[in-house]
Amino acid sequence: MSKLDTFKNQESGNSLQRARQLVLPSRKEMLARSPSAQSFWIKNRSLLADAWKEWGQDTSNSVVSLDESVIDDRLRHSVSQAWVEPTTEQAVRDLWEEVAPGVYQTQFFDPQRVASLREYLESAVDAGIPLRPPYGISLNRYGAMLDPRSEGFLGAPAFQEFYDQLLDKYMRPVARLLFPEVMGYDTQTFGFSIKWQEGMDTSLRLHTDASAVTMNINMNLPSEDFTGSEIDFYDPNTGKVKRVSFEAGTAMIHRGHVAHAALPITSGERSNIVLWLYGEGMQIPQHTNQSPVIDAHKRWTAPVGKKDDIAPF
């Protein structure tokens, strides 16, 4: 082996240590999206990717593994069956209750098993590898970007495999089932995690999302009670607001153009993963009262095109 090869191997093997020594841009710089902050993430993208790989290898025997067992049994079984035989998809549809106009909710994570996901994410945060919190959401102190299109994302290979599964196996076909017009506007993915807690980041004003479809999944354990932090959904047809609460492990899914707000949390903490789907170049379907008729077998397919690199924020 040449000296150059030896040097490269040493550099690669030290990626985790080097990543931990990086000095993050200040909160003010990140909020302002200053050139120095952007430069930091771009400059260190390869290093961070190598560091996540190294962390995954180093912790393979000590960090809890991620798999579909964290998904609620009924949802997991009905979705798996629909992928085998799409004509059984009504069993998936029946699990989603309309809790506000155009907003559906179900038990997504098994409340007793979601602890493994939380343990994994906490281990990843403790890894000391810089993570970029979401912009535009008060730069949530305990949030992280999850999609590879975002700089500073949580790049642990095991998590990325799990993340892809959430979007490709579960969210996309469910979105097509509930909102048929999104098919073709669901090839691109985006995601972030977020934590609301009293005295820190507590609420989010009324807004719409730049997505075709949004899914918001709660990661609280059954023992983690909180008050406040309900979601208000605004119905432009009636001018009324419907207030909906999260239970441990439940998910809400809705079209991106549905206006919603997170109310202030008054005690405890609420932890969530937020996932978006949209088309190439951030295209979203036009709102229409007419829904296209789509064959079930087409619904239960994955896009074959390449993902773009446009990040919403």
Alpha carbon distance 140, 130 (integer Å) = 14
Domain covering 69-299, topology: Jelly Rolls (2.60.120)
Amino acid identity of residue 37, one-letter, is A
**Dihedral in degrees, nearest 10, Cα atoms 139, 53, 167, 264:** -20
Report the chain (313 residues): mean pLDDT per 10 consecutive residues.
44 83 89 90 96 93 88 98 98 97 97 92 93 75 88 95 97 97 96 84 79 97 91 90 95 96 90 96 84 92 89 87
Alpha carbon distance 241, 100 (integer Å) = 9
For Cα atoms 181, 297, 146, give the angle at the middle one, nearest 5 degrees.
60
Domain ranges of the chain: 1-62, 69-299
H-assigned helices in 33-86: 35-43, 45-58, 73-84
pTM above 0.85, yes or no: yes
Q: What is the pLDDT of residue 208?
A: 93
Strand extents, DSSP E, the chain: 97-100, 103-107, 144-145, 188-197, 204-207, 213-218, 227-228, 231-235, 240-244, 250-255, 260-262, 265-267, 269-278
